[in-house]
């Protein structure tokens, strides 16, 4: 098994993609601590997943609000029950306010940043402190379409997800010498509770095109979340050692064959960058 005895922490692990990640890690032999905002969600998920544990395998569920630094600190203190921490998956996140940018309240904007960016940062801070002492580790941050494409009427979500990718790239460089690999995963369009949020907002707030896409995903299905979960397994395993600072699409990138492209992956492929005229075979002159 790819993750045998690897101790892993997954935020937002009680439902949607987070739950698929927890299940995939358990299936590959990892010990898992997962969290969710409510104790009810934690207890339900723990009871359901405990039935598939292998002998000696550990699964711990804890309530945690990643927007609260104190709650995150308590989470890591309790997660120490399973021993040294090898992998952290930052999955917890929210869409935030949906609607025209001029109507977004600063309170809603700030809350989205507190969960999606500050929450991710605080989790990463605790993870790095733990991993530096052992000389290795894996941090996986879940990004999304907002990181690479404008998302009208979801300005808070789009801005925070772009920030998460730059945070990922920065941490990767800062802790490269400590052999801590830090990567971001774009899971693709998933049918989750966020899809329902868009449908509840309606086409006037979400925009007709984005509403129609979510309606289609809700009715006909979207990207299989197991793709992103399996990519997280790969990034958590020794197979991906040394691959760091990347934004990887679960749906579109050939990550299963990355071993063939190791030399190229040391450069700026799969990173955020500014497009200059030369990238489009043009040359601007004054």
Find out whether 127 and 88 touch, Cβ atoms under 8 Å.
Answer: yes
Determine the Cα–Cα distance for residues 72 and 95; give it in Å rounded to an integer: 20
Tokens 């299940």 belong to 23
Active site residue 270: no
Pairing of strands 137-142, 87-90: parallel
Find out whether 26 and 53 touch, Cβ atoms under 8 Å.
Answer: yes
Determine the Cα–Cα distance for residues 34 and 23; give it in Å rounded to an integer: 11
Q: Which two tokens stand for residue 192?
A: 């989750």
Find out whether 2 and 28 touch, Cβ atoms under 8 Å.
Answer: yes
Active site residue 161: yes
Tokens 């990643």 belong to 66
197 backbone dihedrals φ, ψ, rounded to 5°: -60, -40
Alpha helices in 175-238 (DSSP H): 193-206, 208-220, 225-236
Determine which one of 2, 95, 138, 161 is catalytic: 161
3-class SS at 181? strand
Which contiguous run of DSSP H or E holds residue 13? none
Determine the Cα–Cα distance for residues 15 and 72; give it in Å rounded to an integer: 19
Determine which one of 2, 95, 132, 157 is catalytic: 157
Find out whether 207 and 154 touch, Cβ atoms under 8 Å.
Answer: no
Catalytic positions are 157, 161
């Amino acid at each position: 098994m790819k993750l045998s005895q690897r101790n892993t922490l997954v935020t937002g692990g009680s439902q949607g993609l987070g739950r698929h990640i927890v299940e995939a890690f358990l299936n590959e032999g990892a010990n898992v601590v997962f969290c969710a905002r409510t104790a009810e969600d934690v207890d339900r998920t723990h009871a359901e997943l405990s039935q598939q544990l292998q002998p000696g395998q550990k699964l711990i569920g804890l309530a945690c609000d990643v927007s609260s630094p104190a709650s995150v600190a308590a989470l890591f203190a309790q997660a120490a029950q399973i021993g040294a921490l090898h992998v952290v998956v930052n999955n917890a996140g929210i869409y935030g306010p949906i609607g025209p940018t001029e109507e977004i309240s600063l309170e809603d904007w700030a809350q989205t940043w507190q969960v999606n960016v500050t929450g991710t940062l605080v989790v990463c801070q605790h993870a790095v402190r733990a991993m530096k002492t052992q000389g290795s580790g894996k941090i996986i941050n879940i990004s999304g379409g907002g990181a690479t494409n404008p998302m009208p009427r979801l300005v808070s979500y789009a801005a925070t997800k772009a920030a998460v990718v730059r945070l990922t790239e920065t941490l990767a460089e800062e802790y490269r010498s400590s052999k801590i690999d830090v990567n971001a995963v774009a899971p693709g369009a998933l049918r989750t509770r966020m899809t329902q949020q868009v449908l509840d907002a309606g086409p006037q707030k979400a925009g007709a095109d984005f509403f129609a896409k979510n309606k289609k995903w809700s009715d006909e299905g979207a990207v299989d979340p197991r793709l992103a979960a399996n990519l997280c397994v790969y990034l958590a395993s020794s197979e991906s050692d040394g691959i760091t600072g990347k934004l990887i699409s679960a749906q579109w990138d050939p990550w299963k064959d990355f071993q063939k492209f190791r030399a190229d992956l040391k450069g700026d492929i799969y990173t955020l960058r500014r497009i200059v005229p030369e990238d489009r075979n043009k040359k601007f002159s004054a």
